[in-house]
Amino acid sequence: MSSRNNLPLLAFATAALLGIAVALALLVAPEDVDQGVSQRIFYFHVPIALTAYLCFGLGAWKALRLLWVGGERRDLESYTWIHQGTIFGALTLITGSIWAKASWGVWWSWGSNQLVLFLVLFLFYCAYFMLRFSVDEGARRERICAVYALFGVALIPVSFFAIRLASDFIHPTVFTREGPQMTGTMFGTFLVCWAAITLLAYVMYRIELVGKRTDANLRELREALS
């Protein structure tokens, strides 16, 4: 596979882009009038959340392909995407929590629909891992996990809806993240950060996949020798 060779290069490019993104977010982007310096976490929080959605979506796509055309490598790919999605989902919760503390003075707010949604998704995908580790490896596990991953992408919009509805009776939305319109520099910074974090997720996915495949190959080799 020739694509494996470009991985170090890609990783290096990602690191560089991340550096640029951090510099832009902290130094170049203008300070928000209302929220001050804490608003800068927005440049990471939102791209991380979007990347998590992307990872979950790709995990479900691979799961769908697995059910459709088969192929055990798709199981590993689906699992790895969901693993990355869960990592970025946890990061979303952490950055969101920091932002909540900075702007509202509390570590957690049920008023933030996005955070609540990520909490639900985080629970869902933790259950995915529990399921995966309690079914014996093999074709049955691949299929069961794929079906559960598909339920996950259906749950995202349904939960989004549900949380919007729930905020009517549980907690009227007092806080809003919609500050003044983003300026050109702000938007540019946001795009760079988004690109950097998406690329980071992809590189992490590739690295994890290479590691897992090496593991599997080694195991097979050891078995063949014994």
Cα–Cα nearest to 32, from 174, 177, 194: 177
Q: Which of 1, 5, 34, 168 binds another protein (CB under 8 A)?
A: 168
The answer to whether 113 and 171 are in contact (CB under 8 A) is no
Q: Is 187 in the site for another protein (CB under 8 A)?
A: no
152, 127 in Cβ contact below 8 A? no
Stretch of 6-14, 51-59, 102-110, 139-147 lying at the interface with another protein (CB under 8 A): 139-147
CA nearest neighbour of 26 among 14, 44, 12: 44
Q: Crossing angle for the helix pair 72-104 and 113-134, nearest 10 degrees?
A: 150
> If residue 142 lies in a helix (H) or strand (E), which one and from where to where?
helix 139-169
Q: Give the binding range for another protein (CB under 8 A) out of 24-32, 52-60, 102-110, 132-140.
A: 132-140
Instruction: Return the H-helix or E-strand segment holding 207.
Output: helix 184-225
Residues 69-128 that bind another protein (CB under 8 A): 70, 120-121, 123-124, 126-127
Q: Which stretch binds another protein (CB under 8 A): 17-25, 46-54, 146-154, 177-185?
A: 146-154
Tokens of 20: 């640029």
Nearer to another protein, 113 or 189 (CB): 113
Residue ranges in 201-220 that form contacts with another protein under rule CB under 8 A: 219
Looking up tokens 């929220």 gives 35
* Residue 38 and residue 99 in contact, taking contact as beta carbons nearer than 8 Å: yes
Candidate list 26, 154, 218, 221; residue touching another protein; CB under 8 A: 154
Nearer to another protein, 153 or 193 (CB): 153
67 binds another protein (CB under 8 A): yes
Residues that bind another protein (CB under 8 A): 67, 70, 120-121, 123-124, 126-127, 130-131, 134-140, 143-144, 146-148, 150-151, 154-155, 158-159, 161-163, 165-166, 168-169, 219, 223
